[in-house]
Amino acid sequence: MSFEYGLYVPGRSVFHRIDPRAKIIWALTVLAFSIYNGNYVMNPIYGGMIYASVLIALISSKPTSFWYKLFGGLSVAILFFSLLFWPASVPLGGKPLLVIPVLGWKYTDLALRLALSKAFLVLSPIIAIATIFITSRPGDLFQALVKWRFPYRLAYIPILALRFLPTVIVEIRTIIDAQKSRALELEKGSIPSRIRKYVAVFVPLMIRMMKSALELGVALDSKGFGAMKTRTFSKELRWRIYDTLILIMFTALYAVMLIVITRFLAW
């Protein structure tokens, strides 16, 4: 995967066409409902539904297979560790379902509920935020932040990081190839020794990046970055009724689901 446009994957899905500001508000809504559920309601079915909604948003934007693998792996890992450690670390009452013999960890129905809710609390906002980056051009995200009165010099820093993602990946590959040709065996040895070997990749990368930073600074200067207090945008973001409708739809969905599930499907 080359990350040509940073994290952005070009496409024409519904999410691609929404104003980035609406997407940011949507992700914050997901975050708010997830926190509320994960900390107060702790209903795994509701958590699972929010998780399903962000998954649908992600899948509908047709990202590359890299993202499916990443979030598939992440979901399995977080669910696994959450189920393993939450019940053990928080003593809760409830009906015991399973007891681990030697360690004495008790898995009750309450513990299971807590573990699943916490897992969804972590997963849903991460996927929602990633969906923003996958479906928005970095330049549009920049403009969204500027429209919200973030100082544009600061708002451009994360955009530059996205822009240089492909450059850094190419650099890392070049350095790894160069070091391998000098007999550095990155794939061999124990995990600590492999980590140590990566120092030989990390140090040259940092030095190269620092050297390039000066050129980048001069380039920004000669493009007049920071020249004016405000700047124009040649392709201006326009908030449409469509954006408002989508936001209302999602918020209503989360609110109605919350009411229905807590009233009628209380665990």
Residues that bind another protein (CB under 8 A): 2-6, 8, 10, 137-139, 159-160, 162-163, 166-167, 212, 214-228, 230-236
Alpha-carbon gap, residue 7 to 136, rounded angstroms: 9
Min CB(133)–another protein separation in Å: 12
3-state secondary structure (DSSP) of residue 97: strand
Alpha-carbon gap, residue 97 to 80, rounded angstroms: 17
Alpha-carbon gap, residue 241 to 211, rounded angstroms: 47
Q: With respect to another protein, which residue has the nearer C-beta, 149 or 223?
A: 223
In the DSSP assignment, the letter for residue 25 is H
3-state secondary structure (DSSP) of residue 99: strand
Strand partners of residue 99: 106
Q: With respect to another protein, which residue has the nearer C-beta, 188 or 235?
A: 235
Q: With respect to another protein, which residue has the nearer C-beta, 35 or 169?
A: 169
Alpha-carbon gap, residue 189 to 203, rounded angstroms: 20
CA distances from 128 to 56, 212, 245, 252 (A): 10, 33, 18, 17
Min CB(264)–another protein separation in Å: 47
Contact between 19 and 237 under an 8 Å Cβ cutoff? The reply is yes
Q: With respect to another protein, which residue has the nearer C-beta, 94 or 166?
A: 166
**Rg of the chain on CA atoms, in Å:** 23
Min CB(135)–another protein separation in Å: 14
Alpha-carbon gap, residue 2 to 16, rounded angstroms: 20
Q: With respect to another protein, which residue has the nearer C-beta, 216 or 245?
A: 216
Min CB(8)–another protein separation in Å: 7
Q: With respect to another protein, which residue has the nearer C-beta, 166 or 204?
A: 166
Output the six-digit token pair for 94. Answer: 């409830």
Q: With respect to another protein, which residue has the nearer C-beta, 11 or 94?
A: 11
Min CB(150)–another protein separation in Å: 16
Min CB(142)–another protein separation in Å: 9
Min CB(202)–another protein separation in Å: 19
Instruction: Write out the H or E segment, with its range, that includes residue 75.
Output: helix 65-89
